[in-house]
Amino acid sequence: MNQLILPYQQNIKQTFENYYSDSDLNTQISEGIKNIFSNKNNQIYIWGGKFTGKSHLLYSANNHFSSIEKKCIYLPMKDYRLFDPDIINNFCDYDLICIDDIDCIFGIKDWEYSFFKMINKALDNSKKIIYTSSSSLVLNKINLKDLHSRLSWGLVYRINNPGDHLKEKILNKIIHEKEYNISLDVCRYLLNRKDRDLVSLIKIIHKVGYQSLSTNKKISIKSLSSIFD
């Protein structure tokens, strides 16, 4: 397997096949990633809010392309304090470079300059780079203007927030993956009666799920009141 994911093990649960989307644009983004090696664009910059599937897409890209003998690397910039900026100097040895949450280093001089050098070298060698961010490039949070320019060279997509139907799918997926003992009608109940943003809903599902595991009892709509009272 010619794949390195830093600092995590390969996440085989995240694939294009189980990437849920109720938006034609979001589907277009995943198709654009799958076709990146047959496309003249060497970069894709994807931005959007929390829990919109950005990291899922990067893991999917790593898993997909490493299975067809591409050398891939993944770096989560939320953990940039664990790394030295020089860590990316040799990323050009890889066919696909996946940078998650690059906006975490916007405004940090050493990191911005390291990325500027790496991108120049990668593009000179026709390597492919995919970035995710919670920040639009239009917001101009980058101090190094040359880096801002380089990031703007490729395709830029905004990933859409999920609708209620997709939120329900995501919540049910979490229940299945975590093996929570929760009645599936709980998800629809929460969508209709609790905070509707996905971040809040996921927190609630985990709280309910932990309760189901600790009590070894199935959580139904009727038993929710005892958890939240």
In the chain, CATH 3.40.50.300 sits at 3-158
**Which pTM value belongs to this model?**
0.80
Per-residue pLDDT for 2 more than 70? no
Per-residue pLDDT for 115 more than 90? yes
Per-residue pLDDT for 215 more than 60? yes
Higher pLDDT, 220 or 196: 220
The span from the CA of 184 to the CA of 170, in Å, is 12
Span 185-194, average pLDDT: 85
Higher pLDDT, 196 or 177: 177
Span 189-199, average pLDDT: 77
In the chain, CATH 1.10.8 sits at 164-228
Provide the pLDDT for residue 3. 43
Q: Does residue 89 contact residue 58 with C-beta atoms inside 8 Å? A: no
CATH number given to 164-228: 1.10.8
3-158: CATH architecture: 3-Layer(aba) Sandwich (3.40)
The predicted-structure confidence for 49-80, as pLDDT tens digits, reads as follows 887 889 989 999 999 998 888 999 999 999 99
Higher pLDDT, 110 or 22: 110
SS3 129: strand
Higher pLDDT, 146 or 15: 146
Other CB atoms within a 10 A radius of the CB of residue 83 amount to 15
